[in-house]
Amino acid sequence: MSETAAPRQEENPLEQGLALRRTPDPCALVIFGASGDLTHKKLMPALYALAVRSLLPPRFAIVGVARTEGDDGTFREDMQAAVRQHARDPFRQEIWDELVEQLHYVSTDFADAGGENAVHDLLGRLDDERQLGGNRVFYLAVPPGAFPTIVEALGRRRDERGWTRLIVEKPFGHDLESARTLTATLLEYFQEEEIFRIDHYLGKETVQNMLALRFANGIFEPIWNRQFIDHVQITVAEAIGIEGRAGYYEQAGAVRDIFQNHLLQLLALTAMEPPIDFTAESVRNEKVKVLRALHTPGPRSVVRGQYGRGFVEGEEVAAYREEEGVAQDSMTETYVAAKLYVDNWRWADTPFYVRMGKRLARRETTIAIQFKRAPHPPFEETAAEGLRPNVLLVHVQPDEGVSLAIGAKVPGQGLTIRTVHMDFLYGGAFRTGMPEAYERLILDTMLGDSTLFTRADEVEEQWLLVDAIVAGWQRDRPAFPNYPAGSWGPPSADDLLHRDGRSWRRH
């Protein structure tokens, strides 16, 4: 039985963002990779945000595990600095004082039995002291090479009491084969329901809102198909470069870093059929059908790019090949655009144009549903010169919201029609800050809800497509760099749409 912690008096539930949900059972959260970037920038700030909103379990412990030398004291200091720097809420001493008591640290590389024992013993002690009931969340925020050792060690010593859940960070494999091997290793010791594969885009409010928008409103679904929609454009643009992650990025490239996971998940949510309910299995069953229906694009339908020097938001930045740790003749792509088709009744012949890249003009993730033109506008041609087809634009980030482009009469004499926008902005409609994706995802794991996590079959379908695209790339060597930092990508990405008589949405 879980206990319910009363919300702090001063918190207005409406402002909590993640309010009014079940409180998770008592448990220990063990973070492998506790000295890494993700823990500092995302995980600890998310845990602090959950603490501010009284959403953590009533009895709780956080155990950091990493190779870095240290003890509880140094870990606590380090985590406090991370919260001060990266949390979305202002630092509050009284919240921190409560949370800090729950933080522990084990320094080990986990390859030796000594480290394994130390973690095991500490968890046993915390169970006794705080009555955690043997409940565990293990968070694998380590490079994929370290997964098998840790998973095997954890699996061998599973606590028979309580529940165990495993959060696996991306990248989930490097291709289909390695993803299958990883799944097999996990399934040796854990059940699929215990495995929580993170795709943090699914934790974003605006991404979940795609489901609300489509399935909570009666007006969209009847026109959400090939009869009314001309095409869909999905953009995941980043202004940042690779931020010192050359070791990882040189191996991954944009196709594995963003396309394989975030981008394909956005597409699946946009294209899926209505699920019969919102349980994890129903939602994931519908998504996987879309992924299965994706047609492998031919070489002419995929464009890759790599950024050269340029200016981003007024600042001069280096070319990808000049970044530290990147080979001078690197052929790693930092940009991908593609034309994809979902081969089913709803979407046959409706292109989904997708693009994603680093060092583009600005940060922007959008899903644009472009509807067909009105069949017979009864106006003179000149009247409607400023009119574009209707577009439903989902702003995933920043400026989270939804906007609908419609034609309206310009005030004054005569009849002139122009495109205007009906906007819904999160900031205006809900007087609340947006929760970070990791808050939602950590909380859902503790609650045992895997709806917003990817299942093994989804990941495999995603890799199948990526492997086919990458195989097509072996044959040619594009002239990189082919777009300046701060632009919207290589000219060939524009040609991809121009050939179809279309163009990317103007910014």
* Nearer CB in complex with ligand BG6: 300/362: 362
**Could you write out the DSSP letters of every residue in 429-469?**
HS-SPPPPHHHHHHHHHHHT--TTSB-HHHHHHHHHHHHHH
Token pair, residue 292, equals 């299965």
In whole angstroms, the minimum distance from the beta carbon of 442 to ligand BG6 comes to 15
* Nearer CB in complex with ligand BG6: 115/253: 253
Comparing C-alpha atoms, which of 240, 293, 307 is closest to residue 264?
A: 293
- For the chain, give the longest Cα–Cα distance: 84
Yes or no: say if 309 and 281 are a contact pair by the CB < 8 Å rule.
no
Q: CB under 8 Å to 253, separation ≥6 — which residues?
A: 332, 333, 334
In whole angstroms, the minimum distance from the beta carbon of 27 to ligand BG6 comes to 26
- Output b/e per residue, 132-157; b: 16+ Cβ within 10 A: bbbbbbbbbbbebebbebbbebbbee
Under the binding rule (CB under 6 A), the answer on residue 257 touching ligand BG6 is yes
- Give the separation between CA 160 and CA 426, rounded to whole angstroms: 44
Distances 406 to 368, 369, 391 between C-alpha atoms, Å: 14, 13, 7
- Catalytically active residues, by annotation: 262
Q: Which of residues 235-254 bind ligand BG6 (CB under 6 A)?
A: 238
Comparing C-alpha atoms, which of 102, 177, 190, 96 is closest to residue 140?
A: 190
Beta strands in 161-228 (DSSP E): 164-168, 195-197
* Nearer CB in complex with ligand BG6: 342/368: 368
* Nearer CB in complex with ligand BG6: 238/444: 238
Q: CA 283, 286, 291: angle at the middle one, nearest 5?
A: 125
- Give the separation between CA 164 and CA 18, rounded to whole angstroms: 23
Comparing C-alpha atoms, which of 132, 179, 157 is closest to residue 27?
A: 132
In whole angstroms, the minimum distance from the beta carbon of 257 to ligand BG6 comes to 5
In whole angstroms, the minimum distance from the beta carbon of 419 to ligand BG6 comes to 28
Write the binding mask 199 to 238 for ligand BG6: x where contact by CB under 6 A, - elsewhere: ---------------------------------------x
Question: How big is the site for ligand BG6, counted in residues (CB under 6 A)?
Answer: 2
Q: DSSP H helical segments within 272-379, as ranges? A: 280-293
* Nearer CB in complex with ligand BG6: 373/507: 507
In whole angstroms, the minimum distance from the beta carbon of 366 to ligand BG6 comes to 12
Q: How many CB atoms lie within 10 A of CB 504?
A: 18
Element (H, E) at 230: strand 229-237
- Give the separation between CA 80 and CA 44, rounded to whole angstroms: 9
Yes or no: say if 445 and 163 are a contact pair by the CB < 8 Å rule.
no
Per the rule left: phi > 0, alpha: psi between -120 and 50, beta: everything else, 287 is alpha
User: Closest CB to ligand BG6 belongs to which residue?
Assistant: 257
- Give the separation between CA 200 and CA 436, rounded to whole angstroms: 9
In whole angstroms, the minimum distance from the beta carbon of 195 to ligand BG6 comes to 19
Which residues are registered as beta bridge partners of 422? 404
Judged by the rule CB under 6 A, the positions of this chain that interact with ligand BG6 are: 238, 257
